[in-house]
Amino acid sequence: MSNEASELAWFKSSYSDNEGGACVEVATCADAVHVRDSKLADGPRFSTSPTTWSAFLTYASTR
């Protein structure tokens, strides 16, 4: 991970709810997009390149 978690500004998905449903948070920086489960903020996360993240969002928006 290129940045420490405490330095990242995490944003919850607009599709997430406060009822314990599917909750995804994303943090972006110049060289990576970081993704985690908002219910497990200290838990596992993954990072990908901004180009790959953009391709994923394009794909997901057509489904």
- Is residue 13 within 8 Å of 23, Cβ to Cβ? yes
Question: Mean per-residue pLDDT for 10-34?
Answer: 82
pLDDT greater than 90 at residue 5: no
pLDDT of residue 6 exceeding 90, the answer is no
The pLDDT value given to residue 2: 44
31 Cβ neighbours under 8 A, 6+ residues apart: 2, 49, 50
24-59: pLDDT as tens digits: 899 999 999 999 988 888 889 999 999 999 999 999
pLDDT of 8 over the 70 cut: yes
Which pLDDT band holds residue 3 (cuts at 50, 70, 90)?
Answer: very low
